[in-house]
């Protein structure tokens, strides 16, 4: 992770209006975010909290009502930024009458790749997502998991620097979920910047360096996952090989260094708990930033 | 062949115009500028409403500048990728069904069209070509109107626009892809049609042996045989075999056969010739002399509403005079091939079906030297072909040479036509007399007709794709259909807008309909009338006029008439149509580009 900002929002606000221009939903309220090169950034929030809206604004699929979204320092409406990013949508929005191969070939062409580069990329990506045996089948025959994987391959076709993943593990079984998370970590190791949004807490906890928690379009929490999850005034002791006596005298034992001390550090709560507190807190006092810490 | 307006040579059409119209290029520039201005005003108004006056200006400015920059970034590979996608999509949507429908139509035509008709080729060609036009345009509308809205609905567009794709490429790719699909369909249909027409018209005869008679000349030598063929396809031909045993039959139902005697009583007869023709006319300039001998631009009216032709009265000095340029032996060494179409107007019946007599003379416009008249029998509205021999006599019997004496040095020649019978009238338009240049290839001319169908379909595709960037499929379909229909009636639009047609503008017409006042009645003076006329004058008519400026004249695109009536489609016509088509594609793609760019994709 470096100091270079790849993605930035300034007071980003989105109001959905109906056909007559009347206000329907305030989906996002004055969001300020910065994402640095090389980190995995998680957008966390319950359904309808504005995660997808944020991603769409970053991609220029939606226009902000107020504020602005910058990607690589350029406004989100600039097409040029797309050269360097990949996007996996919430659901697979791919042409169902194309095969896996044709799909990747098509998107490769949209990056103006030469045929040799394209074929190479298509082959390696199909291998990467494990669809070798289904490469000549139309996407309409694919299962949800396979569709998700071809969706990911599609997002990686240009070897992007910045990857936006909208609910990457939705619809995947535990194994698929695991594979997806490993993939994200691998991409991170390759130096890519990843922004993912999810309502699945475990996923976010496992892979994200930093997270932002959104609720009803408002930013509730922002910070490093490890810091956020630290409870400062509690000490946790994990020990092994303790007899019943020892357990009874555990404080003495520790004080006198009789047992084998495996760990003595600050315990963490689960992300789940933090998340739920924030949501509850937000419901009780809307419009305020949560004060859990 | 009705030619209401003279076809301009391509470059004159492109740059300078004529027939009361501006050159195509300046006109395109003007319409384009007008549209740009309108778009700027509307665009700024919307942006200002959304972002405020200053920031609105900023947004508008950036949209335009970025837009122009992106046009430079357009990549052929991306366009081609999107075009391929459009082709695959069409195949998935079973465009092939259109071919099935087409073959059903041909089957139906086979049942219902008769070859026993005075011009069966015309019947067949106009039927199959019209069917092809409608079907191809229908497919074009359906494909183009539902494609982009489908992508918006399935949200597949999200994964496309988040690639470095320029909005213009999405539009162009689709137009090109669908145009390719349509081209293949059209090619298959037109080849099938051509084969169908040729095969349907094909027939052969035998010689009616009993009818054969020897032809004997004055000195008693046998110079040949005359006879007729057996009836087939509802007609028979007569022929006169020459001494070598060859003959071309009489023309019946627009065709002839070649007859060859291979033995005493055995003959070989070819298939029909001349059904499908591509006549190449060289037109002249028409003027008239009226019954009192005075020069006139037009003849008299016999009360037809359609003023295309005007008339000369029979057995008076009234004459129709065509002046041709560029006449000389290069047309034909030994004779001048002419064609004349006469519209006969009878004030008394005479013998029904009997032709009316007329006469034709050729004259040198400078010296006034005139040939002896050639009498002819005029049948109504039929192309009669005459060959004026090179050796002629003047009216006092002096021999003169057509090309040397009657054609001026700069190649001009006059053709004078009169009607000989009292109380009967001949009607002519400029295109009714022409010099027959050697026929073009019928197949090539037919292909050119198909190009004109192609042009219409491409424009429709461009319209469909462009409008479907902002509305849903069914609405886009309606819009494109409306565009075609308005385009077919474009001339009426212009006539109403410029006050040429009776009955006033839309508001006044509605009022007239409601009050059952016919178009000629003067409306009562009053506030209401003033309001209606004012509304038409300052609102409705300017809008109609503006719309007419960029509507394509679909009725004028069709060249089916050329093929049906057996005329060659001039290259000037083809180039003009293709150029117009290109202008529409460019203009519409640009409009579509800005529409798509300023639209929120994830709405
Ligand atoms: N196209 C739309 N029109 C109107 N409201 C929308 C639209 N898309 C999303 N919303 C609303 O905006 C809010 C945020 O939606 P979204 O960003 O999709 O949430 P998330 O992805 O966090 O589940 C929700 O209340 C949703 O109903
Ligand atoms: Mg979502």
Cβ pair B78:A63 closer than 8 A: no
Per the model's pLDDT, the better-predicted residue between B353 and B46 turns out to be B46
Would you say the ipTM is above 0.90? no
* B502 Cβ under 8 Å from any chain A Cβ: no
CA nearest neighbour of A151 among A201, A96, A211? A96
CA–CA distance, B280 with B339 (Å, rounded to integer): 11
Q: Which residues in chain B have their CB less than 8 angstroms from residue A61's CB?
A: 158, 161-162, 600-602
Question: pLDDT-derived band of residue A293, with 50, 70 and 90 as boundaries?
Answer: very low
CA–CA distance, A188 with A180 (Å, rounded to integer): 12
Q: Please give the pLDDT value at position B395.
A: 74
Q: From residue A283, how far is each of A214, A222, A280, B291 by CA, in Å?
A: 12, 18, 5, 101
The whole-number average pLDDT for the span B513-520 is 80
* A83 Cβ under 8 Å from any chain B Cβ: yes
Ligand 2 centroid to residue A54 C-alpha, Å = 9
CA–CA distance, B113 with B124 (Å, rounded to integer): 7
Residue A25 CA, closest ligand 1 atom number = 5
CA–CA distance, B201 with B276 (Å, rounded to integer): 10
Ligand 1 centroid to residue A16 C-alpha, Å = 8
Residues touching ligand 1 (Cβ under 6 Å) are: A 16, 24-25, 27, 45, 47-53
Ligand 2 centroid to residue A91 C-alpha, Å = 9
Please name the residue that has the structure tokens 């004030």. B347
For atom 1 of ligand 1, which residue has the closest CA?
Answer: B603
pLDDT in tens, A156-181: 999 999 999 999 888 787 778 888 88
The answer to whether B129 and B193 have CB atoms below 8 angstroms apart is: yes
The whole-number average pLDDT for the span B529-545 is 82
Ligand nearest to the CA of A91: 2
The domains of chain A are located at 5-94+160-230+269-284, 234-267
Q: Among B62-71, B122-131, B315-324, B430-439, name the one with the lowest average pLDDT.
A: B62-71
Q: Please give the pLDDT value at position B190.
A: 93
Cβ pair B81:A106 closer than 8 A: yes
Query: Of B85, B92, B602, which is closest to A106 when you measure between CB atoms?
Result: B85
Question: pLDDT-derived band of residue A292, with 50, 70 and 90 as boundaries?
Answer: very low
Strands (E), B29-169: none
Out of 2.60.120, 4.10.860, 1.50.10, 2.60.40, which CATH number does the structure's domain B280-437 have? 2.60.120
For chain A positions 111-140, those within 8 Å of chain B (CB to CB) are: 111-112
* A93 Cβ under 8 Å from any chain B Cβ: yes
Q: What tokens were used for A289?
A: 């930033």
CA nearest neighbour of A183 among A127, A121, A228, A257? A127
The whole-number average pLDDT for the span A226-251 is 67
Q: From residue B370, how far is each of A164, A281, B365, B425, B475 by CA, in Å?
A: 89, 110, 9, 23, 66
Query: Of B156, B165, B166, which is closest to A95 when you measure between CB atoms?
Result: B156
Angle between helices B53-72 and B571-597 (to 10 degrees): 130
Cβ pair B164:A62 closer than 8 A: no
Cβ pair A93:B70 closer than 8 A: no
Which of A17, A53, A88, A215 most suits a substitution to test ligand 1, by most atoms within 8 Å of the C-beta? A53
Cβ pair A63:B70 closer than 8 A: no
Q: Is the pLDDT of residue B389 over 70?
A: yes
CATH code assigned to A5-94+160-230+269-284: 3.40.50.300
Ligand nearest to the CA of A167: 2
Q: From residue B405, how far is each of A110, B325, B366, B368, B416 by CA, in Å?
A: 71, 15, 10, 10, 16
Q: Which residues contact B136 (CB under 8 A, 6 or more apart)?
A: B98, B182, B185, B186, B189, B453, B454, B457
pTM, two decimals, is 0.86
Query: Of A62, A79, A154, which is closest to B159 when you measure between CB atoms?
Result: A154
The answer to whether B133 and B453 have CB atoms below 8 angstroms apart is: yes
Q: Please give the pLDDT value at position A189.
A: 93
The whole-number average pLDDT for the span B444-471 is 93
Query: Of A61, A77, A112, which is closest to B75 when you measure between CB atoms?
Result: A112
Q: What percent of chain B has pLDDT over 90?
A: 26
Which of A25, A168, A213 most suits a substitution to test ligand 1, by most atoms within 8 Å of the C-beta? A25
Per the model's pLDDT, the better-predicted residue between B301 and A193 turns out to be A193
Ligand 1 centroid to residue A52 C-alpha, Å = 7
For atom 24 of ligand 1, which residue has the closest CA?
Answer: A48
CA distance A288 to chain B (A): 28
Q: Please give the pLDDT value at position B488.
A: 85
Q: Which residues in chain B have their CB less than 8 angstroms from residue A87's CB?
A: 158-159, 162
Strand A40-44, strand A210-215: pairing:
parallel
Query: Of A61, A91, A107, which is closest to B601 when you measure between CB atoms?
Result: A61
CA nearest neighbour of B187 among B98, B298, B286? B98
Q: Is the pLDDT of residue B354 over 90?
A: no
Q: Please give the pLDDT value at position A243.
A: 67
Cβ pair B163:A111 closer than 8 A: yes
Cβ pair A95:B166 closer than 8 A: no
The domains of chain B are located at 1-73, 77-201+446-602, 209-269, 280-437
Question: At B466, is the secondary structure helix, strand, or coil?
Answer: helix
Mean pLDDT of chain A, nearest integer: 84
Ligand 2 centroid to residue A82 C-alpha, Å = 21
């Amino acid at each position: 992770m470096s100091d270079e900002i790849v993605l930035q929002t300034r007071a980003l606000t989105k109001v959905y209006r109906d056909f007559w221009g009347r206000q329907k939903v305030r989906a996002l309220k004055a969001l300020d975010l910065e994402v640095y090169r090389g980190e995995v950034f998680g957008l966390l929030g319950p359904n309808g909290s504005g995660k997808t809206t944020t991603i769409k604004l970053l991609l220029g699929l939606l226009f902000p009502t107020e504020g602005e979204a910058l990607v690589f320092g350029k406004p989100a409406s600039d097409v040029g930024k797309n050269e360097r990013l990949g996007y996996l949508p919430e659901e697979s929005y791919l042409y169902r009458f194309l095969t896996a191969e044709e799909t990747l070939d098509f998107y490769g062409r949209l990056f103006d790749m030469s045929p040799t580069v394209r074929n190479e990329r298509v082959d390696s990506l199909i291998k990467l997502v494990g669809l070798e045996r289904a490469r000549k089948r139309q996407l309409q025959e694919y299962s949800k998991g396979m569709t998700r994987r071809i969706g990911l391959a599609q997002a990686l076709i240009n070897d992007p620097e910045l990857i936006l993943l909208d609910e990457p593990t939705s619809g995947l079984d535990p194994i698929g979920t695991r594979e997806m998370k490993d993939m994200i970590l691998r991409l991170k190791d390759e130096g890519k910047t990843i922004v993912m949004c999810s309502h699945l807490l475990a996923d976010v906890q496992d892979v994200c360096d930093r997270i932002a928690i959104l609720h009803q379009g408002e930013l509730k929490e922002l910070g490093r996952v490890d810091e956020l999850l630290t409870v400062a005034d509690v000490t946790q002791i994990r020990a092994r090989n303790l007899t019943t006596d020892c357990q009874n005298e555990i404080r003495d034992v520790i004080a006198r260094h009789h047992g084998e001390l495996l760990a003595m550090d600050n315990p963490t709560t689960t992300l789940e708990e933090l998340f739920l507190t924030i949501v509850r807190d937000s419901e009780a006092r809307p419009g305020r930033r949560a004060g859990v810490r | 062949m009705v030619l209401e307006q003279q076809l301009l040579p391509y470059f004159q059409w492109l740059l300078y115009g004529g027939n009361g119209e501006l050159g195509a290029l300046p006109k395109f520039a003007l319409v384009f500028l007008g549209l740009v201005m309108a778009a700027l005003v509307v665009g700024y108004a919307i942006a200002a409403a959304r972002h405020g006056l200053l920031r609105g200006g900023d947004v508008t400015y950036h949209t335009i500048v970025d837009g122009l920059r992106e046009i430079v970034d357009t990549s052929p590979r991306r366009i081609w990728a999107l075009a391929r996608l459009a082709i695959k999509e069409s195949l998935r949507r079973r465009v092939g069904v259109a071919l099935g429908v087409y073959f059903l139509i041909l089957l139906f035509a086979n049942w219902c069209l008769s070859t026993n008709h005075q011009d069966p080729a015309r019947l067949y060609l106009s039927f199959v070509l019209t069917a092809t036009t409608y079907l191809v345009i229908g497919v074009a509308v359906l494909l183009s109107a539902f494609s982009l809205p489908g992508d918006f609905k399935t949200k597949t567009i999200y994964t496309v626009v988040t690639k470095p794709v320029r909005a213009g490429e999405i539009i162009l790719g689709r137009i090109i892809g669908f145009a390719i699909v349509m081209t293949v369909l059209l090619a298959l249909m037109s080849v099938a049609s051509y084969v169908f027409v040729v095969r349907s018209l094909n027939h052969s005869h035998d010689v009616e042996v009993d009818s054969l008679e020897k032809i004997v000349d004055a000195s008693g030598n046998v110079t040949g045989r005359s006879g007729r063929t057996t009836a087939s396809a509802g007609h028979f031909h007569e022929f006169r075999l020459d001494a070598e045993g060859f003959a071309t039959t009489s023309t019946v139902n627009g065709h002839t056969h070649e007859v060859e005697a291979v033995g005493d009583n055995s003959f070989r007869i070819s298939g029909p010739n001349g059904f499908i023709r591509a006549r190449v006319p060289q037109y002249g300039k028409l003027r008239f002399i009226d019954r009192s001998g005075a020069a006139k631009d037009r003849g008299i009216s016999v009360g037809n509403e359609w003023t295309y032709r005007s008339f000369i009265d029979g057995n008076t000095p009234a004459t129709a005079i065509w002046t041709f340029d560029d006449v000389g032996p290069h047309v034909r060494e030994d004779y001048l091939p002419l064609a004349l179409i006469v519209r006969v107007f009878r004030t008394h019946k005479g013998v029904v079906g009997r032709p009316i007599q007329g006469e034709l003379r050729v004259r040198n416009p400078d010296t006034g030297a005139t040939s002896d008249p050639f009498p002819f029998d005029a049948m109504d509205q039929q192309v009669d072909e005459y060959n004026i021999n090179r050796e002629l006599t003047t009216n006092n019997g002096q021999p003169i040479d057509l090309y040397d004496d009657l054609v001026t040095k700069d190649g001009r020649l006059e053709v004078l036509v009169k009607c000989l019978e009292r109380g009967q009238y001949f009607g002519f338009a400029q295109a009714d007399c022409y010099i027959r240049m050697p026929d073009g290839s019928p197949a090539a001319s037919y292909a050119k007709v198909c190009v004109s169908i192609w042009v219409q379909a491409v424009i429709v595709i461009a319209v469909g794709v462009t409008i479907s960037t902002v509305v849903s499929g069914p609405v886009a379909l309606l819009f494109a259909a409306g565009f075609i229909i308005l385009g077919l009636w474009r001339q009426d639009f212009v006539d109403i807008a410029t006050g040429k047609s009776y009955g006033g503008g839309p508001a006044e017409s509605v009022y007239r309909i409601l009050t059952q006042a016919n178009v000629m009645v003067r409306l009562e003076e009053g506030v209401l009338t003033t309001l209606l006329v004012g509304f038409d004058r300052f609102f409705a008519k300017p809008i109609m006029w503006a719309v007419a400026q960029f509507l394509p004249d679909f009725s004028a695109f069709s060249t089916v008439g050329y093929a049906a009536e057996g005329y060659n489609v001039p290259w000037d016509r083809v180039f003009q149509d293709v150029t117009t088509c290109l202008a529409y594609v460019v203009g519409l793609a640009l409009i579509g580009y800005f529409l798509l760019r300023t639209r929120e994709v994830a709405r």
